[in-house]
Chains A and B, each alone.
Chain A
Amino acid sequence: MSNQNRTMYGGRIDRGKVINFVFNGKKYKGFHGDTLASALLANDVHLVGRSFKYHRARGILTAGSEEPNAIVQLGLGARTEPNMRATEIELYEGLEAASQNCWPSVNYDIGSLNNVLSSIFPAGFYYKTFKWPPSLWLFYEHFIRKAAGLGHSPTAKNPDRYEQKFYYCDLTIVGGGISGLLSALAAGRSGCSVLLIDENPELGGYLLDYNFSINEKDGIKYIKNIVDELYSMDNVRILKRTTAMGYYDYNYLTALEKVTNHCDQLSKTLPRERYWRVRSKKIVLAQGAFERPLVFADNDRPGIMMASAGKKYLSRYGVLPGKSVVLFTNNDHAYQTAFEFNDKGAKLSVVDTRDNIDSRIQKKCEDLGIKLYSSSSIISTNGNKKVNQIEVQKVDRKQNELSGECITLDTDCILMSGGWNPAVQLFSQSRGKLRYDNVLNTFVPDKLIQDQIIIGCNNGCFDLSKNLNHSYQEGLNAAKDLNYEIADSINWTGEEEISFTESSVEPYMLGKKKVTKGSKHFIDFQNDVTAADIFLAQREGYISVEHTKRYTTTGMGTDQGKTSNVNALALMSHIHDKPVDEIGHTTFRPPFSPQTFGAIAGRSVDHLFDPERRTSIHKWHEENNAVFEDVGQWKRPYYFPKKKENIHDAVKRECLAVRNSLGMLDASTLGKIDLRGPDTTKFLDMIYTNAWSKLEIGSCRYGLMCNEHGMIFDDGVTTRLGEDHYHMTTTTGGAARVMSWLEEFLQTEWLDMEVFCTSVTEQWTVLSISGPNSRKFLQELTDIDLSKENFPFMKFREGKVCDIDSRVFRISFTGELSFEVNVPSRYGRFVWEQFMQHGKKYNITPYGTETMHVLRAEKGFIIVGQDTDGSVTPMDMNMDWIVSKKKQDFLGKRSFTRPDTMRSDRKKFVGLLVNDKKTVLPEGSHIVEKALKQPPMKMLGHVTSSYYSPILGHPIALAMVKNGSNHLGEKVEIPLMNGKVIEATIADTVFYDKEGNKNNE
């Protein structure tokens, strides 16, 4: 039999469209318009999942986003998703879902043993045990972890796509119930740009399931008219299936739209979800309210649900969740549900905690043959996988005691209603302050902080007429505030069949004794927090709400306490005999509902995760087999292996090519800054440690920058192009940092200095050619006179290279004769290829960063960021020669004379030669005077750079060693992690061409 709980007619499902789906391996049928929850109930499936800790049988509690129990594993393979609320999953053809946190099956779950042993697992039990022996904690933990968790993570990459969107508007309205709709209507008619957001597939909210009228017309039809009108307005944008997730400062709202989640067909182009970032001038919160459960013994069995949920299943989905139904309530409103269930053929009883029940309601119950137990409470329930029996007893609310005989009733469904909690989550996130309302017995919005409006049930008002008028008027007011000419006011009357009287809503009514002993009174369903746990927390001193929350985990589940928070607080208030306002509440934090990671990541995945910055020659490198290195966001050729070469072979070949003939490096990634203005020289004098005033036009100079702490922070060659005009280069990784460093001082400190800085990094492609043949080679391609006399070292010339207007700098980072040719980037690859072609006869060899590193290390040139970190001064690097003694001031100078910077035993930059002439020391390995058998050992310093030098035929290393420059020639040891100890000798930092003749050839 299938759909045995479906009513003959009614509901807003499409009975013409049958949908097949699978739950826990079994096939079922539902209809278009069903949720997974409604379809399961229609098929008489009530046991849907197991609880977190005790593995109790759980069913479907609600019909919306607040569901704590019916959370399932949805979908298969890479598309599987844990912890999905069955109450929100729209049924689609082929849907597959399964219960979670149970083994081997939801029906026979071994974990439910925990329930039997639950008496030794109260809140916080793990703090009290598993401490001994400490070494076994990992062992215990293994099993604890296995038992915890809910669903399973997918184990394959997510195949779906997520998009994002920034959006601006006048007014965002969260909640498409009648309140939100009317506000939207008023603001929309007045011309505001409006964004209306609702998490459901259909607008209309709560009232869609009830009989009501607006201005004496059928309410449902009225809603449809409003919705149609809103859709017809260009200035109103409506997002259905969209949940407002976070409400941040400055009216910044994030929302998650389900774009194709509910579809059976996967889209090739549309995302699964779209993440909205919305900034609006005003925000209207019209989120309605969540019905509050009642707390009684074993109130968690499948078959027990919220009254409004029962109503929704019946009215919207045509599902009768039970035939013999008990309504357990403390308010009038829920009676509508009882009457409707009665109408649809269910046998009804009502248990009402109140002494005085509206006479009209009493009468109607009598007329319909509904047995009404007033001043009563359900005190226990029975039924293994579904509720089948309850006990009812009189309750004396003043004494908080139960009395009289227990009546036993058979039932297959309990509908409970403990009153309503306005959905204050977003309001609270926005820093709004709440107040406890002693009539509604719940928290309601009090003090607004941002430019916002709260309307409808969200504002704690449950009177339809009031809400209609208020909502519409607030829409108009908002428009007026935003300077729109407002539409006409309207007088609204609305009537519900039975409205929510604010008479008495009792959050908690059970005798204390009953709570602590024996059966479980659940407060937080998902996390298995019982009333006894709350008592225990108070008893043990976890009295602050925040302690109670963390000790018991109440409100920490995937529903974030939407159903449990207020009951927990009310119970604490009861225990301490203090008003709830004094108890307070925990902090509401984003998101409102669990929010997909992938949607927040958006398209910043795979090839779009982070930009790959590429030079103009990049494609050539790719085509020529370069292996790339990531330097910041840049991709730089690391080396260019030929067929069978590994990195060592390739680097050796590249190094020797440069030393013996001609090599070429793509140096375009270096930062380049054009500086101009009458104060530029003065400015450079402050920025660099050395002096600039004497630099001739057309000359280059190496400079070192320190931060104000006196530590090296960048270096590079700067060239004087004109009297007031310089071209500065920086390290690849430091380019942005240097630019903002310059701007910082120009814009905030030396406002009078006349200097303009312009970044030209990508304007120029830089081809660095190096090697004894570089002059000969380049001369063939340029009209610049490269002769020694006319173009000396550290000079700059302009001219044509390969017929392209170029800037050529004679500077060298390899120690060989070198030229850095700068051409506009559009010609970069052209010139590179020309060089490759014309350079054949010199065996021109493209080389990568590794070779560059080896070559400069052979010369003892530093790499900022490798040989230095942010804790070394120029003097530490033995670069006193570049620190001006004459200049009165430059950035960092003052810090050189602090006691610590003047310490004599600071680490100094030295060379290291391994005594075995074979071992290439690991970069980062540490140096000791004499190795001990075992750590700890006192360290003298560490190896900053280390390579095999092809030209020298042995390894070389650079290092920072305590007082190292005073220990040249002395022996030190480097203990490796594998236990080996390498001997080395402290040496000069220059290993090759100590006289520096090569680049002056």
Chain B
Amino acid sequence: MFVINCPYCGERDQTEFSCHGEAHIARPDNPAEVSDEEWGEYLFFRNNPKGIHFERWTHDHGCRRWFNVMRDTVSDKIIKTYKMGDQKPGVTDV
């Protein structure tokens, strides 16, 4: 049970949030032009690392904003939360 630091509301209980999988997956600019393979990658294929993971959460029972979380999938420790559109942190930023 995490405590999640919503970039807008501050620290709140995990049960106010929900997770929506990997972050920083951009929709192809022109889907018509990508191959079936590339489209399949965009739809389904995900980084699923044992270690640092970037993921999207929403503060459902709060400000209803989407934001990004950088979390270690082994210790489950949240390293950083940041707003959508903010630069993806590098491991050295931590």
Asked if A and B touch directly (CB within 8 angstroms), the answer is yes
CB distance from B37 to the nearest CB of A (A): 10
Say yes or no: A279-B84 contact (C-beta < 8 A), given A740-B58, A747-B66, A748-B66. no
CB distance from B60 to the nearest CB of A (A): 8
Q: Is A252 positioned at the interface, with any CB of B under 8 Å from its CB?
A: yes
CB distance from A707 to the nearest CB of B (A): 9
Assembled-state Cα–Cα distance A88/B74 (Å): 38
Chain B residues within an 8 Å CB radius of A744: 20, 66
CB distance from A894 to the nearest CB of B (A): 4
- In the bound complex, do residue B32 and residue A888 qualify as a contact, i.e. CB atoms below 8 Å apart? yes
User: Chain B 47-87, CB within 8 Å of chain A: the 1/0 string?
Assistant: 00000000010100000111000000001110000001100
Q: Is A250 positioned at the interface, with any CB of B under 8 Å from its CB?
A: yes
- In the bound complex, do residue B20 and residue A747 qualify as a contact, i.e. CB atoms below 8 Å apart? no
CB distance from A280 to the nearest CB of B (A): 11
Assembled-state Cα–Cα distance A449/B74 (Å): 13
Chain A residues within an 8 Å CB radius of B36: 898-899
- In the bound complex, do residue A250 and residue B2 qualify as a contact, i.e. CB atoms below 8 Å apart? yes
Assembled-state Cα–Cα distance A449/B75 (Å): 10
Chain A residues within an 8 Å CB radius of B32: 888-889, 893-894
Assembled-state Cα–Cα distance A744/B40 (Å): 20
Chain B residues within an 8 Å CB radius of A888: 30, 32
Say yes or no: A708-B1 contact (C-beta < 8 A), given A748-B56, A889-B32. no
B residues 7-55 with Cβ under 8 Å of A?
13, 20, 26-28, 30-32, 34, 36, 39-40, 43
- In the bound complex, do residue A747 and residue B76 qualify as a contact, i.e. CB atoms below 8 Å apart? no
- In the bound complex, do residue B31 and residue A743 qualify as a contact, i.e. CB atoms below 8 Å apart? no
Nearest residue (CB) in A for B23 is A748
Chain A residues within an 8 Å CB radius of B84: 747-748, 751
Assembled-state Cα–Cα distance A172/B39 (Å): 51
User: Chain A 436-450, CB within 8 Å of chain B: the 1/0 string?
Assistant: 000000000000010
Chain B residues within an 8 Å CB radius of A249: 1-2, 76-77
Assembled-state Cα–Cα distance A894/B42 (Å): 11
- In the bound complex, do residue A894 and residue B31 qualify as a contact, i.e. CB atoms below 8 Å apart? yes
- In the bound complex, do residue B1 and residue A898 qualify as a contact, i.e. CB atoms below 8 Å apart? no
CB distance from A230 to the nearest CB of B (A): 28
Q: State the majority secondary structure of interface residues on A.
A: mixed
Assembled-state Cα–Cα distance A893/B34 (Å): 12
Assembled-state Cα–Cα distance A249/B77 (Å): 8
Nearest residue (CB) in A for B20 is A744
Assembled-state Cα–Cα distance A166/B43 (Å): 39
- In the bound complex, do residue B66 and residue A250 qualify as a contact, i.e. CB atoms below 8 Å apart? no
Say yes or no: A709-B1 contact (C-beta < 8 A), given A744-B20, A748-B56, A894-B31. no
Nearest residue (CB) in B for A889 is B31
Chain A residues within an 8 Å CB radius of B28: 894
- In the bound complex, do residue A749 and residue B20 qualify as a contact, i.e. CB atoms below 8 Å apart? no
Chain A residues within an 8 Å CB radius of B43: 708-709, 895
Chain B residues within an 8 Å CB radius of A740: 58
CB distance from B20 to the nearest CB of A (A): 7
CB distance from A595 to the nearest CB of B (A): 16
Assembled-state Cα–Cα distance A252/B87 (Å): 31
Nearest residue (CB) in B for A248 is B1
CB distance from A889 to the nearest CB of B (A): 6
Chain B residues within an 8 Å CB radius of A252: 1
User: Chain A 267-281, CB within 8 Å of chain B: the 1/0 string?
Assistant: 000000000000100
- In the bound complex, do residue B27 and residue A749 qualify as a contact, i.e. CB atoms below 8 Å apart? yes
Nearest residue (CB) in A for B66 is A747
User: Chain A 685-711, CB within 8 Å of chain B: the 1/0 string?
Assistant: 000000000000000000000001100
Assembled-state Cα–Cα distance A748/B26 (Å): 9
Chain B residues within an 8 Å CB radius of A449: 75
Assembled-state Cα–Cα distance A431/B72 (Å): 15
- In the bound complex, do residue B13 and residue A279 qualify as a contact, i.e. CB atoms below 8 Å apart? yes
- In the bound complex, do residue B30 and residue A889 qualify as a contact, i.e. CB atoms below 8 Å apart? yes
CB distance from A877 to the nearest CB of B (A): 21
Assembled-state Cα–Cα distance A250/B77 (Å): 8
Chain B residues within an 8 Å CB radius of A708: 43
Assembled-state Cα–Cα distance A431/B85 (Å): 34
Chain B residues within an 8 Å CB radius of A899: 36
CB distance from A941 to the nearest CB of B (A): 26
Assembled-state Cα–Cα distance A899/B35 (Å): 11
Chain A residues within an 8 Å CB radius of B2: 249-250
Partner of A747, one of B39, B40, B65: B65
Chain B residues within an 8 Å CB radius of A889: 30-32
A residues 336-361 with Cβ under 8 Å of B?
none
- In the bound complex, do residue B66 and residue A893 qualify as a contact, i.e. CB atoms below 8 Å apart? no
Partner of B1, one of A250, A747, A749: A250
Chain A residues within an 8 Å CB radius of B56: 748
**Which residues in B have some Cβ–Cβ distance to A below 8 Å?**
1-3, 13, 20, 26-28, 30-32, 34, 36, 39-40, 43, 56, 58, 64-66, 75-77, 84-85
A–B Cβ pairs within 8 angstroms, 16 of them: A248-B1, A744-B66, A747-B65, A748-B84, A749-B26, A749-B27, A751-B85, A889-B32, A893-B31, A893-B32, A894-B28, A894-B31, A895-B43, A898-B36, A898-B39, A899-B36
Knowing that A431-B75, A898-B36 are A-B contacts, what are 10 other residue pairs whose CB atoms are under 8 Å apart, sorted by A's residue number? A166-B13, A248-B1, A449-B75, A709-B43, A740-B58, A744-B20, A744-B66, A748-B66, A749-B27, A895-B43
Across chains A and B, which 8 residue pairs bring their CB atoms closest together, nearest first? A894-B31, A747-B66, A252-B1, A250-B3, A248-B1, A748-B66, A751-B85, A894-B39
